[in-house]
Structure formats: structure tokens, C-alpha cells
């Protein structure tokens, strides 16, 4: 049986009623399992993880995107995370019995459905991108919701699906296919956003840092701290512990301490095994030596 994972991100992290409405279509569907959903008030963002049979997952997510269109008004949205749509981004990740080409096909099918039924312009990104410059989500989303009108007026940014006109309340959406990534945030004991920004700039690939790190700064005012927020796009090549140690090293330049970190959404066990082996100095340690691995066989 083919199994796909989908991780739609919605631009709502504060209104619990709206969050439950968005998540509702992903519950109780045959062939679909809702694994996790996390809302963040500062980011004003909801990250959802579902898994299951490709066709069932595609249809359930399509329904959820429709709900987000109805309950989120991007004209009123404020948050610290980059965004340009009610359902801002929706990637498919091949898990079992399918390859990346299958995930790209699924992304195209959903993109066509969303553009036709909801009249939301769709950009394809990562492995589904139709142009090299659209592979990077940050490039696709540059200008955010407030800059969508200008972006869509540029012939170079004609949507892959739908008209070159933003939805009046839902904006646009990026739909794609990719490998599993880890959304990883590291906390700094300073409210100075400039320090977090400088550290993020140092470690991210676009500024000469690690090849598989995308990073930026975020304020957490209620805790009087900031975060270096990251996507680790290939944890097998840039490990979590390497990102953590890099931020610690850069923080020392500014007299700042790392006071913890968090994973948003789900994380592959291999990434945690790799990090545990590093910090504990474990020799020849692998997933095969984890008790639960044997229990699941």
C-alpha cells in the first residue's frame, strides 16, 4: 500500500474555534490519519501532519484548504512567520510504496483542484517546481501576502495553476513535493531580535551557511526571548546537533546563551538517534538498536 505524508501550514495560530474547523476534515476519514497539529500564537500559524493513502489524503487536505479559505482573512492576518495565503504551504512527502514522482503528481492534482474549485492561485515548489527559481519556498513566498498583487502582475510569476489574481481573502498557496524536513527552533536568552537575525544569517545556506539549513529570527515577547527558527531540509546531511552547536557557537559572540530548543510537528527517529549518538558518544549505534524498532517489525 502506498503511503504519503502531507504537512499543510495554515495562517491561524490563535483562534481555537477556527483551528478546530480547519482540522476537522482530517479526522475520521478512511485512509487518513491525523498525526499531529500544533498552533503557535507568535507565528500565528498552524502546522498539521497527516498520513495515509495518497488519494484519501489529497481529498481530505483539499477539504481542509477549503475551510481555511472560508475562516481566514489574510487582510487581517499578522504574525511573525512568512506567509502569503490562508493555507500557506502544502507539501507531499513520499513515505512508502511511492517515489518523488508520485508525490509530484499528487501535488499537481491538488493544485488543479484548489485553483478550479476555490479560485486560489497555486505555485508549485521544491520537487514539483516547474522553474528552477520556484524550487525554493522562500523565493516563491517573497513579498508575502502584502506583495502578492505586485508579484502576480509580473509575467515571470504567473501561477502554475489558476489566474494571476490573488484570492481576496485566502491569497495564494504553494503546493509541492519534498523529502521529510525538520522544523527546529532554538531559543536565545535575549529579546534582541537583531542578534537572532545575525545568527540566522550566519548559518543559513542563502548567506553562505549550511547547505540544508533555512533560518530566520523570531521574537517571543511573553518569554522575553528570541528564536532562531529553522527548517532542516535534509537532516541526514545537516544533523540537528550540528545546527544546535552552530547556533551555540555564534551566540557566544554576542554574550548570549542558548536556553533550549523545540521541534514543531513530527521528527524522524533517525534524526534523534543521530543526535543522541553524537552527544552520548555512542559507537556503532543505529536505529536497529532501538527497542521500539524491533517491536514494530
- The residues that are catalytic are 81
Interatomic CA distance for residues 75 and 217, integer angstroms: 23
Interatomic CA distance for residues 200 and 128, integer angstroms: 27
Interatomic CA distance for residues 188 and 258, integer angstroms: 5
Among residues 82, 37, 77, 29, the alpha carbon closest in space to that of 55 is found at 29
Assess contact for 169 and 73: CB atoms under 8 A: yes
Four-CA torsion 168, 171, 172, 173, nearest 10 degrees: -130
Rg (CA), the chain: 19
Amino acid at each position: 500500500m502506498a503511503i504519503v505524508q502531507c504537512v499543510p501550514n495554515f495562517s491561524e495560530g490563535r483562534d481555537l474555534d477556527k483551528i478546530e474547523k480547519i482540522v476537522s476534515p482530517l479526522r475520521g476519514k478512511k485512509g487518513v490519519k491525523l498525526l499531529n497539529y500544533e498552533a503557535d500564537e507568535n507565528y500565528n500559524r498552524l502546522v498539521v501532519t497527516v498520513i495515509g493513502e495518497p488519494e484519501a489524503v489529497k481529498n481530505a487536505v483539499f477539504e481542509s484548504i477549503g475551510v481555511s479559505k472560508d475562516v481566514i482573512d489574510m487582510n487581517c492576518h499578522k504574525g511573525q512567520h512568512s506567509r502569503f495565503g490562508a493555507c500557506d504551504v502544502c507539501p507531499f512527502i513520499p513515505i512508502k510504496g511511492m517515489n518523488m514522482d508520485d508525490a509530484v503528481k499528487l501535488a499537481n492534482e491538488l493544485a488543479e483542484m484548489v485553483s478550479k474549485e476555490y479560485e486560489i492561485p497555486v505555485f508549485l515548489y521544491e520537487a514539483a517546481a516547474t522553474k528552477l527559481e520556484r524550487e525554493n519556498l522562500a523565493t516563491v513566498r517573497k513579498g508575502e501576502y502584502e506583495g502578492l498583487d505586485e508579484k502576480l502582475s509580473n509575467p515571470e510569476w504567473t501561477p502554475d495553476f489558476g489566474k494571476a489574481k490573488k484570492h481576496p481573502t485566502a491569497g495564494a498557496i504553494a503546493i509541492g513535493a519534498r523529502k521529510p524536513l525538520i522544523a527546529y527552533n532554538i531559543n536565545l536568552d535575549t529579546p534582541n531580535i537583531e542578534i537572532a537575525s545575525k545568527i540566522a544569517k550566519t548559518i543559513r545556506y542563502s548567506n553562505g551557511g549550511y547547505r540544508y539549513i533555512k533560518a530566520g529570527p523570531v521574537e517571543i515577547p511573553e518569554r522575553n526571548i528570541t528564536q532562531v527558527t529553522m527548517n532542516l531540509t535534509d537532516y541526514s546531511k545537516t544533523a540537528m546537533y550540528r545546527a544546535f552547536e552552530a547556533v551555540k557557537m555564534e551566540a557566544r559572540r554576542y554574550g548570549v546563551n542558548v536556553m533550549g530548543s523545540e521541534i514543531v510537528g513530527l521528527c524522524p527517529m533517525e534524526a534523534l538517534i543521530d543526535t543522541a549518538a553524537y552527544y552520548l558518544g555512542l559507537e556503532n549505534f543505529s536505529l536497529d538498536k532501538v527497542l521500539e524498532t524491533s517491536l514494530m517489525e
